[in-house]
Amino acid sequence: GENVEQHPSTLSVQEGDSAVIKCTYSDSASNYFPWYKQELGKRPQLIIDIRSNVGEKKDQRIAVTLNKTAKHFSLHITETQPEDSAVYFCAARIRPSPLAGGTSYGKLTFGQGTILTVHP
Amino acid sequence: DAGVIQSPRHEVTEMGQEVTLRCKPISGHDYLFWYRQTMMRGLELLIYFNNNVPIDDSGMPEDRFSAKMPNASFSTLKIQPSEPRDSAVYFCASSFRPLNTEAFFGQGTRLTVV
């Protein structure tokens, strides 16, 4: 089945610096890679996602890159702010079609999370 | 739509008791996921359904855990008997297959077994 590894587990940066979180996945049937942000005591919420037919996607200060060959993807946050402090999760989703995704079609697996702290 | 709705928000129960967590997915969504979140293990996928049918329950820890989805608008996760190590936040999430887009999470149920 799909296995998603995420690093680092904790990341501490100064305000204005960049932060990078990296993930690897194992199942080549995965084609959708979302990133979620979870603030303390709240639910995970999507901040950006990327599909396997795209190598990079950017949304203001957030960008995600995908290397399908190496099966890894990364989240980049530039000009970090204290409000960026949270837990970030990467995830990989297997194609939702039973024909393309095998017996675990549509499965959504998360990495272990990264606690990001941005110091003012 | 009000989003994914979970109940109860908090549950405190004694060891050995049965616990039932409930989830109402977003209307029209055909995938429903149950996750357990702890500090040690992060977000673990327990089981997920597509069109009310369980697709993969390999994440269910043991036979004390069971999940059902009797219709497209309701799912339950049951623990019987509960143990202190089951204490965690349980999230339900739903998504819409044809677009293969984000999964929307409910607010979670914080379970404490004493």
Task: Give the tens place of pLDDT for each residue, B67-109.
Answer: 999 999 999 999 999 999 999 999 999 999 766 689 999 999 9
- Residue in B56, B90, B96 to test binding to A, most A beta-carbons within 10 Å: B56
| Contact present, B14 and B114 (Cβ < 8 Å) | yes
Residue A13 has pLDDT above 70, yes or no: yes
Residue A99 has pLDDT above 70, yes or no: yes
pLDDT digits (tens, 9 = 90+) for A39-62: 999 999 999 999 988 899 999 999
Residue of A nearest to B41 (CA): A112
Q: Hey, is the C-beta of A7 within 8 angstroms of any chain B C-beta?
A: no
Q: What is the 3-state secondary structure (H, E, C) of A33-54?
A: EEEEEECCCCCCEEEEEEECCC
Q: What is the mean pLDDT of residues A107-114?
A: 95
pLDDT value for B37: 97
| Contact present, A7 and A112 (Cβ < 8 Å) | no
- A108, B48: Cβ pair inside 8 Å? yes
Q: Using the CB atoms, write b or e for B75-107: b if 16+ within 10 Å.
A: bebebeebeeebbbbbbbbbbbeeebebbbbbb
pLDDT value for B99: 64
Residue B41 has pLDDT above 90, yes or no: no
- A43, B48: Cβ pair inside 8 Å? no
pLDDT value for A98: 77
Q: Hey, is the C-beta of A43 within 8 angstroms of any chain B C-beta?
A: yes
Taking CB atoms and an 8 Å cutoff, what residues of chain A touch B103? 34, 108
Measured over the CA atoms of residue B10, residue B15, residue B17 and residue B20, the dihedral's sign is: positive
Q: Hey, is the C-beta of B15 within 8 angstroms of any chain A C-beta?
A: no
CA distance A2 to A88: 19
Closest-CA distance of chain B to residue A86, Å: 14
